[in-house]
Amino acid sequence: MIKWQYLTLAATLGVIACQGTGEAKRKDLPVQQVNNEIKTTDTIHDMELLVLPDTFEQKDSDKIGSYVLNNNLEQELIVPSSFIIERLIDDKWQLVPLVEMFVFEDITYAISPKEAKEFPLALSKILKDGANTKGRYRLVKEAWIYGKDEEKTKLTAEFLITDKK
């Protein structure tokens, strides 16, 4: 389990976490502004989603990273295994297809208050194009406070696939 203090440092590396409440559809999710330093904190719910590393090298055939969900709340946070990945194309976030054989486990994970949980993100294995397309991406994931399943929050974390690291 990664401690929050470590994540604070990681956040400064330029990763995004933002949110939209309720059952908002993807098109309702806020479009991020392009900045040199990409960092947004969910100030409403104190949850942060990060992708580590935040930059993958295009020529790297084995793009294996992770995503970390930081729970800075006083309550337990619940996350399912499912997520979507989007790419910014013409200033619009568009769904990136995953390989058909990728299966989301039907499980929910709990993250204790003030703690974080790290999950594997095998990009090159799960993106249909092998994660070989340069661009600005984001991971979109739902989370909710334990016992409040009806109040889901959408979290996003951006990452880049570039030709130079």
Partner 1 sequence: MSAFVAMLSMNACSDADLHENLKTNEELVAKSSNEQPGIEADASHQWEANEKLTRLIESFGTTKNRFQEDVPLYPDYYGGAYITEQGSLTILLHGDQEKGKQAVHAVIGSDNMEFKPAEHSYGYLTTVMDELNEFALSKKDPSSLEFLTGFALMDATNEVEVQVIGLNNQKIAMLQKSVFNKAGIKFKESTGRVKAEVTIYPGCEVSRNASMAGSGSVGFGAKRNSDGKVGFVTAGHAILVGETAYYGSGTAVGTCVNSQQSGTVDAAFVTLNSPTTDNVSNTLCGTSNLLSVSTTLPGAGTTINKIGQSTGATSGTIISTNVSVIGGTGSTITNMTSANYTSAGGDSGGPVYTYISSTGTRPTAGIHMGASGSTRYYTKAGNILSTFGLSRN
Between CA 122 and CA 39, with CA 37 as vertex, the angle to 5 degrees is 65
Query: Is residue 132 within the footprint of partner 1 (CB under 8 A)?
Result: no
Site track for partner 1 across 13-42, x = CB under 8 A: ------------------------------
Using the rule CB under 8 A, which residue among 26, 119, 130, 165 binds partner 1?
A: 119
Using the rule CB under 8 A, which residue among 12, 35, 61, 112 binds partner 1?
A: 112
- How far lies 3's CA from each of 12, 35, 66, 71, in Å? 15, 27, 15, 10
Compute the least distance from the CB of residue 103 to partner 1, in Å. Answer: 4
Please identify, using beta-carbon distances, which residue of 22 and 147 lies nearer to partner 1. Answer: 147
Structural element, H or E, at residue 10: helix 4-11
CA 28 – CA 14 distance, rounded (Å): 23
Using the rule CB under 8 A, which residue among 31, 34, 64, 89 binds partner 1?
A: 64
Dihedral angle of Cα 124, 99, 96, 68, to the nearest 10 degrees: -50
Query: Is residue 91 within the footprint of partner 1 (CB under 8 A)?
Result: no
Using the rule CB under 8 A, which residue among 22, 97, 120, 130 binds partner 1?
A: 120
